[in-house]
């Protein structure tokens, strides 16, 4: 796998770590509302879909938003580390290219 692809995959993984809990909560809320259910973090509301009550599931998934207080700062730190690594790799590539240009070699 090329370095560029690896860095892109790492960036996607960092974004999922940072925004994953919020996405889970928002998607579960949207699904519940799409089926006409009310989601409330104060109490479990009944939500019958296809004969099965999913109210407790949507209630528990709604609490995933609270994990964002941990995942967003962790994602910020991981992004900062990723950015330093990306800039270091870009600098090394620029230096290697400049050295090759000065010596007349092809990359």
Residue 93 vs residues 9, 27, 38: alpha-carbon distances, Å: 20, 41, 54
- Of 44, 37, 35, 77, nearest in space to 63 by CA: 44
Each residue's pLDDT tens digit, 43-90? 999 999 999 999 999 999 999 899 999 999 999 999 999 999 999 999
Confidence of residue 106 (pLDDT cuts 50, 70, 90): low
Residue 1, pLDDT score = 61
Rounded to two decimals, the pTM is 0.77
Distance, in Å, from the CA atom of 35 to the CA atom of 39, rounded to the nearest integer, reads 11
What is the rounded average pLDDT of the residues 31-54?
90
């Amino acid at each position: 796998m090329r370095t560029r692809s690896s860095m892109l995959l790492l960036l996607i993984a960092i974004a999922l770590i940072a925004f994953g809990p919020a996405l889970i909560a928002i998607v579960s809320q949207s699904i519940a509302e799409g089926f006409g259910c009310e989601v409330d973090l104060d109490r479990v509301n009944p939500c019958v879909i296809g004969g099965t009550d999913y109210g407790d599931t949507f209630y528990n998934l709604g609490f995933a938003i609270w994990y964002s207080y941990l995942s967003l700062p962790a994602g910020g730190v991981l992004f900062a580390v990723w950015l330093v690594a990306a800039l270091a790799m870009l600098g090394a590539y620029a230096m290697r290219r400049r050295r090759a240009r000065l010596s007349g070699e092809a990359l």
